[in-house]
Amino acid sequence: MLHQGTKRLKSQRFILRPFQKDDAKAMFERWASDEEVTHFLTWKPHQNIQVTQQILDDWIKQYQNLNYYNWAIIIKDYDHLPVGNISVVEVNEKTHLAVIGYCLSRQYWHQGVMSEVLDRVIDFLFNEVGFECIQSHHDPLNPHSGQVMLKCGMTYEGTLRHSDWNNQGIVDACYYSILKDEYKNKG
């Protein structure tokens, strides 16, 4: 694989870029403090902007690692502030596998944002980095996340019972994946 780190990417409507220190206010206000956004996530809503700033400081330090991928989602022609994030939350170097996680400001749900962004990240990870398989999973009580994965050509692999944990406690997890060859042929 040819790791490149969190390089700037563009899609039709969005820019994906590394987070910056001055993103803390937008991140806190737009999604990190929202209980509905974090309902199915593994981290609690941020209680204050200092929590958000500390997380951003940690993420920014990670950008020096070429196998670290964590993008701020920016709407082109709107403002330069993020409305969500998408990241590689796990890498298996031996199998060339990347696991993707994402979250988005509630204001932008059900508008095709995450489908477009996930598709762009999948393209980058396959065609520029060299991953062979990309996976993601969601809580069965959050079916919209699975619809995003399906829209991007991922295949539903199955549900593992009591195999995950999120803000609801121990939960089932619906797993999806796409192989590089499948992505090449999806057009």
pTM of the model: 0.95
Give the residue-averaged pLDDT of 99-125.
97
User: What is residue 77's predicted lDDT score, i.e. its pLDDT?
Assistant: 86
The percent of residues above 70 in pLDDT, for the chain, comes to 99
Q: Are 114 and 71 in contact (CB under 8 A)?
A: no
CATH of domain 9-184: 3.40.630.30
- Structure confidence by residue, pLDDT tens digits, 14-62: 999 999 999 999 999 999 999 999 999 999 999 999 999 999 999 999 9
Selection from 143, 2, 13, 24 nearest residue 69 by Cα:
2
Per-residue model confidence as pLDDT tens digits over 80-102: 999 999 999 999 999 999 999 99
| 70: pLDDT strictly greater than 90 | yes
Which pLDDT does position 184 carry in this prediction? 79
**What is the predicted pLDDT for the residue at 187?**
57
pLDDT digits (tens, 9 = 90+) for 130-156: 999 999 999 999 999 999 999 999 999
% the chain with pLDDT above 90: 96
Instruction: State the virtual CA torsion across 142, 43, 27, 52 in degrees, nearest 10.
Output: 180
Length of the chain: 187
Q: DSSP class of residue 174?
A: E
Angle between helices 143-151 and 113-124 (to 10 degrees): 50
pLDDT of residue 130: 97
Confidence at residue 40, expressed as pLDDT on a 0 to 100 scale: 95
